[in-house]
């Protein structure tokens, strides 16, 4: 295929990606360097029958003029990155100075919004991903062992938690775990603790969110592993039987090595998806106890009266750095493989 | 007749059955429960006293005279104008699927058939783009969109969803195209087709299964998206998912949670039908990426 | 004693019978080849011996043990598969060692055993490689090495050479023959290639549609085919078979008459003879017909005729030439003829 033809074919796709993925990243980077204009205030004297008083009002005209002159806001350099709702250098320094022990320092650090979100995001990513892989693997082994006729329906029901809209899935679970819902109420009764609610207990919130994460993604790894199991080389499996391998040794020496490349694939996909966790936090209304990086951005854009573009931009840039770090092992390996292949 | 390699001793068999059964309940029960409960009144669905109420519908009978009530659905669809969101969703998903597939098949084909160094880099870039949290991209859109005055409209959302969907579509179609032998288009070109004719007349007809599968996933992405649709659409243009999310704020306060429950069940319906009919394609799509690993 | 006995072994898949009433005694140290066209049940038979497939009815005896219900690993056999069944994640060394490892052979002995096996199959240079980095022939030898490493009582090989190119096949064939001779292990070998069967076997079992057609030494099978199937399957080209009628020791078919057959039978029979037993003559031949085609094989020329519906070939000297359509006579003396009952296909005694 000639270069010209190649580009003619790929152009639409490339343009869309550059325009709506690459460009916004640049735009975010730029926008993170600015902050919103401070409110321009004017003193207005209002008089009524009881007398006159002066009060400060937002000067709409002046604001309009400011926005007109500098639509991006006020230039702030890297200030937004350093402020208390992001990397919070000053606060960190203060904590470092004042804390009696490392443990206390750590706890205090986790109260800072960005670090709090980061801690949940990382915990969610690195707990849910392995659990998804393990759960999916065992479901696949189980389903593989049952008679063929009922495999179809089993796969149908297994797909539901994954296929369903994440927000809807989390709402469905949320209503069940609600203190008046079937699971929540039963749990309270079972543990004899009527104060046990999602809102009251951060641990419970984290657990529930992660349970949701596993519930939502296990079907994915199940299906991938299940398909992998169908392609385990039969000859090799039978060789192992004749060589004297027990059931477990066959799993250990034939099946697991065969599924290993699939595990890399699942892990990669899951790391990417779990790192951007957002919907369950909205669905479970869990923001009080658990926030994620994505949620911080979402909140900056939706929560405040006017969107905080600068703040959202800074968090976005930090998140993108996180994604790159997360992907770097894969990228490095691919890069090395590629170089080995071409040289 | 089972062959010996597949035969399991009884305890292991029971263990497998037990495990699969537990998983099935975990996977399916929440949906069935919500579906059933959506026809009850709130006092039944959220019954602290006794969950059996939700099954039998005690309060529902007290309040409405029958064990089932469509009040939630009526409230959501008519009073809250959920139907509008349904129409918007239909428009968005159909457009996203069609546009994604059109430009995606072209691009995926080009990537599969050219051995240039930069194809590799395009694929890697696509992988990185695929990993970008959608909300970071959205925070990049908002300001320009406000300034260009294109915020809030369906076409804007559609094109954004197409773009977000493109990396995945490219990867998937690329691997499907790789599985079609090169000889096919080469012989077509020897027979006198241009590259594009070969693509359209020879390759696409045998690619249908791959295109359908990829289309399904594009559909799911557009249908299930929350981040983009909730931030880029006005109240009037909202699709189902952000509509449900906004119910949470307004409706919950007014003690009309059942509206949200009914809306949720309504939104799940099409997905169930989809899985029912396209189970095989979904399974093959999930594994298409993995096979190449 | 590594004697293997199959008694009336049958394998049914639902209604379809893959192997029917298979009975055979395989002697200690014998090299037995199962030969037959694709789908005739050779692999199924072998897999039942290995224990990979359950028998529907009948018994399999290994020495004095009835092994029907034993797991494959308890039968003390080893097997080489057509696509080798190597463990892709292990090196050659680990592949060969695997049976020892899972059978808990003391670690001290493992290394020596692996090295001895590797030497026998000439793999000592490749021990650190993975199967993916080996050629087809080398992979095949790894599978062999893994099979011989623990000195089983029976070797089973299912078309082990079919993935190799023609030249490699010849040399590996010789190697297998030699290995079996050295190790003196009872071997069951499956193939659909009759040259392999002829060169390797002490005895050949010809199968068709799940049933044994004939058991015998390669010479027996070639010289005295038990029925028309074996006659038509063995030899290259296969035996010429012509349907006709027999009366008073004379066979007649369209365009062909052979007298002087010493047989008491009469009626519808099939007459068979091998191309290399017949000769081209100037005159007085039993066949006098136009040449249908002539093929030059190098060591001979092959003349073929159309007699009745069948294509009949006769081997001539390598410098013999004839034009297509030319009338050429061929001599088919009664002594080279085999007679089969047309209805049952069975050989008729004393031709
Ligand atoms: N699991 C099965 N279910 C149904 N029929 C089967 C099954 N396995 C094998 N068969 C049938 O049994 C017959 C014998 O198969 P087998 O594999 O033994 O043939 P083969 O002689 O080894 O052929 P080839 O030379 O092609 O390997 C075939 O017709 C096959 O279709
Ligand atoms: Mg076979």
Considering just the CA atoms, what is the radius of gyration of chain B in Å? 24
Predicted local distance difference test score (pLDDT) of residue A120: 94
C248 lies in the same domain as C113: no
Measure C82 CA to ligand 2 centroid, in angstroms: 8
**Chain A residues within 8 angstroms (CB to CB) of chain C:** 233, 235-246, 249, 253-254, 257-258, 260
Over residues B157-187, the pLDDT tens digits come to: 999 999 999 999 998 899 889 888 888 888 8
C95 lies in the same domain as C148: yes
C248 lies in the same domain as C195: no
Burial (Cβ within 10 Å: 0-12, 13-18, ≥19) of residue A194? exposed
For residues C15-52, b (16+ Cβ closer than 10 Å) or e, as one string? eebbbbebebebeeebbbbbbbeeebbbbbbbbbbbbb
Over residues C269-294, the pLDDT tens digits come to: 999 999 999 999 888 888 888 999 99
A157, A176, A224 member nearest B28 (Cβ): A157
Predicted local distance difference test score (pLDDT) of residue B6: 59
Residue of A nearest to B161 (CA): A20
Residue of C nearest to B5 (CA): C52
Q: Give B-chain residues touching A68 at CB under 8 angstroms.
A: none
For residue A105, give both structure tokens.
């320092």
For residue B66, what is the enclosing H or E element? Answer: none
Q: Are strands C186-191 and C31-35 parallel, antiparallel or unpaired?
A: parallel
Predicted local distance difference test score (pLDDT) of residue A119: 93
Over residues C147-204, the pLDDT tens digits come to: 999 889 999 999 998 888 888 889 899 999 999 999 999 999 999 888 999 999 999 9
Q: Which atom of ligand 1 is nearest to the CA of C42?
A: 21
Among 3.40.1080.10, 1.10.3720.10, 3.40.50.1370, 3.40.640.10, name the CATH number for the domain at B75-289.
1.10.3720.10
Subunits next to C (3 or more Cβ pairs <8 Å) are: A, B
C183 located within any domain = yes
Ranges B189-198, C14-23, C220-229, C289-298: which has the least confidence: B189-198
Ligand 1 site residues (CB inside 6 A) read C 13, 16, 18, 36, 38-44, 192
Considering just the CA atoms, what is the radius of gyration of chain C in Å? 24
Alpha carbons C142 and C127: distance in angstroms, whole number = 9
C121 lies in the same domain as C139: yes
Measure C221 CA to ligand 2 centroid, in angstroms: 22
Predicted local distance difference test score (pLDDT) of residue B271: 92
Alpha carbons B4 and A66: distance in angstroms, whole number = 80
Give the closest residue to B31 by CA, choosing from A221, A219, A148.
A219
Predicted local distance difference test score (pLDDT) of residue A335: 82
Atom 8 of ligand 1: nearest residue by CA position:
C44
Q: Give B-chain residues touching A224 at CB under 8 angstroms.
A: 286-287, 290
Length of chain A: 343
CA distances from C209 to A268, A279, C46, C201 (A): 51, 62, 15, 21
A228 located within any domain = yes
Residue where one domain finishes, among candidates C201, C228, C255: C228
Q: Compute the nearest-CA separation of B273 from chain A (Å).
A: 11
Find out whether A209 and A286 touch, Cβ atoms under 8 Å. yes
A69 located within any domain = no
SS3 state of residue C33: strand
User: A274: domain CATH number?
Assistant: 1.10.3720.10
Q: Are strands C240-247 and C267-273 parallel, antiparallel or unpaired?
A: antiparallel
Measure A229 CA to ligand 1 centroid, in angstroms: 22
Query: How many domains does chain C contain in total?
Result: 2
C163 located within any domain = yes
Find out whether B46 and A178 touch, Cβ atoms under 8 Å. yes
Query: How many domains does chain A contain in total?
Result: 1
Atom 22 of ligand 1: nearest residue by CA position:
C43
C218 lies in the same domain as C302: no
Q: Give B-chain residues touching A163 at CB under 8 angstroms.
A: 220, 271, 274-275, 282
Centroid of chain to Cα C219: 12
Residue where one domain finishes, among candidates C162, C196, C228: C228
CA atoms within 13 A on the CB side of A264: 14
Q: Which residues contact A181 (CB under 8 A, 6 or more apart)?
A: A175, B45, B46
For residue B91, what is the enclosing H or E element? Answer: helix B82-113
Enclosing domain of residue A318: 116-342
Q: Give B-chain residues touching C51 at CB under 8 angstroms.
A: 4
C129 lies in the same domain as C152: yes
Q: Which atom of ligand 1 is nearest to the CA of C34?
A: 21
C224 lies in the same domain as C238: no
Alpha carbons B288 and B272: distance in angstroms, whole number = 22
Find out whether C110 and C100 touch, Cβ atoms under 8 Å. yes
Predicted local distance difference test score (pLDDT) of residue B7: 66
A274 located within any domain = yes
Over residues B36-82, the pLDDT tens digits come to: 988 888 888 887 777 777 788 788 888 887 888 888 888 888 888 88
Measure C43 CA to ligand 2 centroid, in angstroms: 4
Q: What is the 3-state secondary structure (H, E, C) of B177-213?
A: HHCCCHHHHHHHHHCCCCHHHHHHHHHHHHHHHHHHH
Contact flag B3-C14 (C-beta cutoff 8 Å): no
Q: Which residues contact A218 (CB under 8 A, 6 or more apart)?
A: A131, A132, A135, A136, A139, A161, A162, B23
Q: Compute the nearest-CA separation of A227 from chain B (Å).
A: 7
Alpha carbons C41 and C210: distance in angstroms, whole number = 5
Cis peptide bond prior to C237, omega within 30° of 0: yes
Q: Compute the nearest-CA separation of C5 from chain B (Å).
A: 21
Residues within 5 A (CB) of ion ligand 2:
C 43
Q: Compute the nearest-CA separation of B67 from chain A (Å).
A: 19
Enclosing domain of residue C289: 234-341
Is a pLDDT exceeding 70 seen at residue B280?
Answer: yes
C162 lies in the same domain as C25: yes
For residues A293-319, b (16+ Cβ closer than 10 Å) or e, as one string? bbbbbbbbbeeeeebbbbbbbbbbbbb
Predicted local distance difference test score (pLDDT) of residue B253: 62
C244 lies in the same domain as C220: no
User: C56: domain CATH number?
Assistant: 3.40.50.300
Contact flag C50-A242 (C-beta cutoff 8 Å): yes
Q: What is the 3-state secondary structure (H, E, C) of A254-269?
A: HHHHHHHHHHHHHHHH
C153 lies in the same domain as C98: yes
A265 located within any domain = yes
C106 lies in the same domain as C183: yes
End-to-end CA distance of chain A: 22
CA distances from B168 to A269, B72, C60, C111 (A): 11, 37, 55, 49
Q: Give B-chain residues touching C71 at CB under 8 angstroms.
A: 4
Does the CA dihedral C262-C264-C268-C269 come out positive or negative? negative
Predicted local distance difference test score (pLDDT) of residue B70: 84
Residue to mutate (ligand 1; options C41, C196, C207; most atoms within 8 A of CB): C41
Alpha carbons C255 and C272: distance in angstroms, whole number = 15
Residue of B nearest to C72 (CA): B4
Residue to mutate (ligand 1; options C11, C13, C47, C196; most atoms within 8 A of CB): C13
A7 located within any domain = no
Where exactly are the structural domains of chain B?
4-72, 75-289
| pLDDT interval class at C14 (50, 70, 90) | confident
Give the closest residue to A26 by CA, choosing from A309, A317, A297, A331.
A317
Segments of chain A with pLDDT less than 70? 39-41, 49-51, 56-58, 304, 341-343
- Rounded to 5 degrees, what angle do the CA atoms A240, C48, C143 make? 35
Find out whether A281 and A292 touch, Cβ atoms under 8 Å. yes
C54: contact with B, CB 8 A cutoff: yes
For residue B36, give both structure tokens.
């059933």
Q: Following CA atoms C67, C69, C72, C74 in sequence, which dihedral angle do they give, to the nearest 10 degrees?
A: -70
Is a pLDDT exceeding 60 seen at residue B248?
Answer: yes
C138 located within any domain = yes
Alpha carbons A38 and A308: distance in angstroms, whole number = 12
Share of chain B above pLDDT 70, in %: 93
ipTM: 0.90
Residue-averaged pLDDT of chain C: 90
Length of chain B: 293
What residues pair up with C316 in beta bridges, in sequence order?
C301
For residue C107, give both structure tokens.
């670690």
For residue A186, give both structure tokens.
């039963």
CA atoms within 13 A on the CB side of C287: 30
CA distances from B179 to A143, A261, B110, B209, B291 (A): 28, 19, 14, 12, 11
**A3-17 vs B117-131: helix axis angle to the nearest 10?**
10
C349 located within any domain = no
| CB neighbourhood size of C178 (10 A) | 11
Q: Which residues contact C180 (CB under 8 A, 6 or more apart)?
A: C31, C155, C187
Q: Which residues contact A189 (CB under 8 A, 6 or more apart)?
A: none
| A181 or B265, greater pLDDT | B265
C74 lies in the same domain as C149: yes
Predicted local distance difference test score (pLDDT) of residue A338: 77
User: C317: domain CATH number?
Assistant: 2.40.50.140
CA distances from C33 to C45, C186, C208, C239 (A): 12, 11, 14, 21
How many contacts, defined by CB atoms under 8 Å, are there between A and C? 69
Predicted local distance difference test score (pLDDT) of residue C348: 87
Residue-averaged pLDDT of chain B: 86
For residue C324, give both structure tokens.
């297509």
Burial (Cβ within 10 Å: 0-12, 13-18, ≥19) of residue B211? middle
Predicted local distance difference test score (pLDDT) of residue B1: 39
A126 located within any domain = yes
Predicted local distance difference test score (pLDDT) of residue A97: 85
Over residues A218-230, the pLDDT tens digits come to: 999 999 999 889 8
Residue where one domain finishes, among candidates C176, C209, C228: C228
Q: Which residues contact B105 (CB under 8 A, 6 or more apart)?
A: B173, B204, B207, B211
Predicted local distance difference test score (pLDDT) of residue B292: 46
Predicted local distance difference test score (pLDDT) of residue C71: 85
A133 located within any domain = yes
Measure B174 CA to ligand 1 centroid, in angstroms: 37
Predicted local distance difference test score (pLDDT) of residue B2: 46
Predicted local distance difference test score (pLDDT) of residue C1: 57
Residue of A nearest to B34 (CA): A172
Predicted local distance difference test score (pLDDT) of residue A339: 78
Find out whether A268 and A96 touch, Cβ atoms under 8 Å. no
Give the closest residue to B217 by CA, choosing from B84, B108, B120, B140.
B108
C52, C85, C99 member nearest A244 (Cβ): C99
Over residues B20-34, the pLDDT tens digits come to: 999 999 999 999 999
A91 located within any domain = no
């Amino acid at each position: 295929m000639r270069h010209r033809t190649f580009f003619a074919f790929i152009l639409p796709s490339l343009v869309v990606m550059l325009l709506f993925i690459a460009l916004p990243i640049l735009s975010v980077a730029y926008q993170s360097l600015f902050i919103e204009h401070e409110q321009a205030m004017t003193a207005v004297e209002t008089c009524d029958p009881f007398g006159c008083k002066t009060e400060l009002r937002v000067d709409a005209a002046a604001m309009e003029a400011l926005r007109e002159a500098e639509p991006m806001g006020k230039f702030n350099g890297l200030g937004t990155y350093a402020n208390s709702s992001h990397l919070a250098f000053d606060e960190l320094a203060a904590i470092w100075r004042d804390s009696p022990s490392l443990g206390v320092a750590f706890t205090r650090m986790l109260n800072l919004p960005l670090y709090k979100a980061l801690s949940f995001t990382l915990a969610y990513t690195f707990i849910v991903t392995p659990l998804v892989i393990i759960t999916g693997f065992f479901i696949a082994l189980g389903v593989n062992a049952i008679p063929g006729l009922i495999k179809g329906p089993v796969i149908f029901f297994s797909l539901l938690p994954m296929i369903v809209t994440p927000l809807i899935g989390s709402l469905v679970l949320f209503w069940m775990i609600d203190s008046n819902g079937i699971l929540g109420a039963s749990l309270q009764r079972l543990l004899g603790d009527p104060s046990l609610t999602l809102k009251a207990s951060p641990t419970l919130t984290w657990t529930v969110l992660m349970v949701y994460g596993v519930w939502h993604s296990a079907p994915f790894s199940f299906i991938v592993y299940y398909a992998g199991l169908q392609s385990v080389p039969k000859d090799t499996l039978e060789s192992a039987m004749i060589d004297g391998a027990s059931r477990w040794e066959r799993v250990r020496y034939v099946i697991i090595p065969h599924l290993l490349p699939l595990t890399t694939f699942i892990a990669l996909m899951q790391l990417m998806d779990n790192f951007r966790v957002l919907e369950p936090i909205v669905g479970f209304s869990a923001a009080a106890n658990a926030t994620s990086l994505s949620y911080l951005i979402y909140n900056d854009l939706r929560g405040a009266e006017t969107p905080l573009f600068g703040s959202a931009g800074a968090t976005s840039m930090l998140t993108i750095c996180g994604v790159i770090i997360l992907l770097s092992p894969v990228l490095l390996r691919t890069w090395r493989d590629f170089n080995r292949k071409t040289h | 007749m089972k062959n010996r390699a597949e035969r399991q001793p009884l305890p292991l068999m029971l263990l497998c059955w037990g495990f699969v059964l537990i998983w099935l309940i975990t996977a399916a029960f929440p949906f069935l429960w919500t579906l059933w409960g959506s026809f009850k009144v709130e006092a039944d669905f959220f019954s602290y006293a006794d969950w059996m109420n939700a099954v039998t519908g005690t309060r529902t009978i007290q309040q409405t005279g029958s064990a089932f009530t469509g009040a939630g659905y009526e409230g959501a669809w008519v009073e809250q104008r959920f139907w509008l969101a349904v129409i918007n969703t239909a428009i968005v998903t159909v457009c996203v699927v069609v546009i994604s597939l059109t430009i995606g098949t072209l691009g995926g084909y080009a990537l599969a058939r050219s051995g240039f160094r930069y194809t590799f880099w395009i694929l890697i870039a696509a992988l990185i783009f695929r990993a970008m949290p959608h909300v970071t991209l959205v925070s990049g859109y908002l300001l320009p969109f406000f300034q260009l005055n294109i915020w809030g409209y369906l076409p804007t959302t559609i094109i954004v969803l197409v773009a977000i969907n493109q990396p995945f579509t490219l990867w998937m179609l690329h691997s499907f195209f790789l599985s079609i032998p090169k000889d096919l288009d080469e012989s077509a070109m020897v027979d006198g087709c241009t590259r594009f004719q070969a693509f359209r007349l020879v390759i696409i007809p045998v690619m249908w299964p791959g295109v359908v599968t990829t289309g399904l996933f594009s559909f799911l992405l557009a249908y299930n998206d929350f981040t983009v649709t909730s931030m880029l659409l006005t109240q009037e243009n909202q699709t189902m998912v952000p509509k449900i999310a906004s119910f949470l704020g307004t409706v919950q306060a007014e003690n009309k949670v059942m509206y949200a429950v009914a809306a949720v069940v309504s939104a799940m319906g099409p997905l169930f039908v989809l899985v029912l009919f396209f189970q095989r394609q979904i399974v093959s799509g999930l594994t298409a990426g993995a096979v190449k690993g | 004693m590594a004697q293997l006995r199959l008694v009336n072994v049958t394998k049914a898949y639902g209604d379809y019978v893959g192997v029917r009433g298979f009975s055979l005694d395989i002697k200690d140290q014998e090299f037995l080849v199962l030969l037959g066209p694709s789908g005739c049940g050779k692999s199924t038979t072998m897999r039942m011996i290995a224990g990979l497939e359950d028998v529907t009815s009948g018994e399999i005896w290994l020495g004095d043990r009835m092994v029907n219900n034993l797991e494959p690993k308890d039968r003390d056999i080893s097997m080489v598969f057509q696509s080798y069944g190597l463990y892709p994640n292990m090196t050659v060394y680990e592949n060969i060692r695997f049976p020892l490892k899972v059978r808990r052979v003391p670690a001290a002995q493992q290394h020596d055993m692996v090295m001895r096996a590797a030497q026998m199959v000439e793999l000592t240079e490749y021990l650190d490689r993975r199967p993916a980095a080996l050629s087809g022939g080398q992979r095949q030898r790894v599978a062999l090495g893994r099979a011989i490493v623990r000195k089983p009582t029976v070797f089973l090989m299912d078309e082990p050479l079919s993935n190799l190119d023609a030249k490699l096949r010849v040399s590996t064939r010789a190697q297998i023959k030699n290995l079996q001779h050295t190790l003196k292990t009872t071997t069951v070998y499956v193939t659909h290639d009759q040259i392999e069967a002829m060169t390797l076997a002490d005895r050949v079992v010809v199968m068709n549609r799940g049933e044994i057609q004939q058991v015998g030494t390669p010479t027996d099978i070639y010289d005295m085919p038990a029925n028309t199937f074996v006659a038509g399957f063995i030899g290259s080209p296969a035996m010429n078979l012509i349907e006709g009628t027999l009366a008073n020791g004379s066979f007649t078919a369209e365009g062909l008459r052979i007298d002087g057959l010493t047989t008491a039978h009469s009626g519808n029979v099939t007459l068979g003879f091998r191309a290399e037993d017949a000769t081209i003559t100037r005159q007085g031949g039993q066949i006098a017909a136009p040449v249908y085609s002539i093929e030059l094989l190098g060591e001979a020329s092959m003349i073929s005729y159309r007699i009745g519906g069948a294509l009949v070939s006769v081997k001539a000297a390598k410098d013999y030439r004839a034009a297509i359509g030319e009338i050429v006579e061929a001599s088919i003396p009664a002594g080279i003829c085999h007679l089969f009952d047309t209805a049952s296909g069975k050989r008729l005694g004393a031709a």
